[in-house]
Amino acid sequence: MITRVKICGITRAEDAEAAADLGAAAVGFIFVKNSPRSIDPDKARHIIHALPPFVTPVGVLADTSRAEALAAIAKSGVRCLQLHGKEDSREFADLPIPVYRVYRVSPEFDPATLKENGGSTFMLDTFVDGIAGGTGTTFDWKIAIEAKQFGRLILSGGINPENVAEAIRRVAPYAIDVSSGVERSPGVKDYQKMQSLFEAIRRVEVTHS
């Protein structure tokens, strides 16, 4: 068992470097202006340029247009795009980089929605009214398990060093996305928390190998 990890909400070069050194497969940059973890694409470009090989920089956009997405890609140099709004991912299918969509899960969420909207990879995050992401709140992982039949699942929402092992054991997602669970404050990562997260992941991977 190998669990891919994305550390999202990166605003500082030292946090991106630490995440990469600890084993992150991807780091996320939020290009949503009202987010407490927002970063300008031009500033993100300098951090991305210093990333080591094989670490994928992901740009996060919400309720964006195709033109805005293309501009963010060009300015920042991200190599993957995460759509966190109401966009239809099929409208962005021919962008020059991979794209996946985020679905916010409430108790009424129907996993069949994933099949209707297309896309072989998707993220599930917790629905909290008025907050687009980084809620620090989990949702019912039974929904995530059911959703796996529709493609590669990236599990998000309230994952931290204390519950990541359980998330992997129960859900076995394609990847996990962690933001607030490894922070000192919004956009500022805590190295010890990140280290603890990866240590917990490695322990559960060894147990299930």
Catalytic annotation, residues: 8, 125
Buried/exposed 144-172: b ≥16 CB within 10 Å, e otherwise: beebbebbebbbbbbbbbeebbebbeebe
Q: Which is nearest to 56 in space by CA: 25, 85, 29?
A: 25
Query: Would you say 192 and 172 are in contact if contact means Cβ atoms under 8 Å apart?
Result: no
Ordered DSSP codes for 187-209: TEE-HHHHHHHHHHHHHHHHHT-
